[in-house]
Structure 1
């Protein structure tokens, strides 16, 4: 049986999912993948105080370059989109948000 006209095999994404939720997931994952540069920039800022704008330019540039590489990678977007769709499917099936599913349940009540 053929799918009804106008439907695609790929799941429909709402505007908020495409433009907000998936990019947020990308930012979070990119920060993890660039954690060494995030730590270097944070350390520099903590040590420099008000002079951080001048003293931490190199660390800031390295961090921006690392993050931008991930933000502009279409394969990384697709990877995050697939992960988002899995989480959305699990939520729709269970009604339990991913954050709550990841928390440990008490072993005794």
Structure 2
């Protein structure tokens, strides 16, 4: 499933503004791929658990995940 976004991205980069017309096949494949994930109950549960984990951490620290990951020490 991971190939669809790469194919669509490459097509759009190669086609420029004409990507809307030239990349319809790749866009359809990408939509199909995303729909498969959207309708997958296991994937939905995985995303929910990740969200709940991040929310719990935010409630403990008050620091959003983005900032917490950026501020990791680079050396000791």
- Report the structure, 1 or 2, having the larger helix content: 2
- Residue matched to 2:23: 56
DSSP-derived class of the 2:73 partner? coil
For structure 1, the residue ranges without an aligned partner over 5 or more in a row are 1-32
Where structure 2 has 5 or more consecutive residues not aligned to the other structure, the ranges are none
CA distance in 2, matches of 1:79, 1:106: 30
Which one has more relative contact order, counting CA pairs under 8 Å at least 6 apart?
Answer: 1
Aligned partner of 1:71 in structure 2 is: 38
The higher radius of gyration belongs to 1
- Give, in whole Å, the separation in 1 of the partners of 2:10 and 2:22: 11
TM-score (norm 1): 0.58
Aligned ranges 1:19-34 → 2 under 5 Å: 34=2
For normalisation by structure 2, the TM-score amounts to 0.79
Aligned length: 75
Runs (4+) off by over 6 Å: none
